[in-house]
Amino acid sequence: MDPSLLMRGFLIEWVTVALIACLMQLAFPVLNSYMRRVLFVMLAAITLAIHTDAGAVVWWHHDPSWAWLMAAYDVSAWTLAGLVLAAFVKPEKNGR
């Protein structure tokens, strides 16, 4: 496998995680607990899965069973990312 392919994939993943972290920071007033931060990322993942995977069934005529599998993958992968992000991206102790 071409190493540049892996680097491009890593870059895309890093950018998307950074964007979710930015969204979390914007929503800090209501994301005051670890579980709320995890649920925020899960909700974003479900939104992503509906938009991309269900949309692929409608617009690209993908097989629905494949779309469900991809949606489950997307939600589970982002849930794992949310578990990690929620531990590191959190409001400052001084009230921010």
Mean pLDDT by 10 residues, the chain (96 residues): 91 93 91 95 95 93 95 97 94 69
Contacts of 95 (CB under 8 A, 6+ apart): none
Which pTM was predicted? 0.84
pLDDT at 37: 96
Cα 1 → chain centroid: 26
Three-state SS across the chain? Answer: CCHHHHHHHHHHHHHHHHHHHHHHHHCCCCCCCHHHHHHHHHHHHHHHHHHHHHHHHHHHCCCHHHHHHHHHHHHHHHHHHHHHHHHHCCCCCCCC
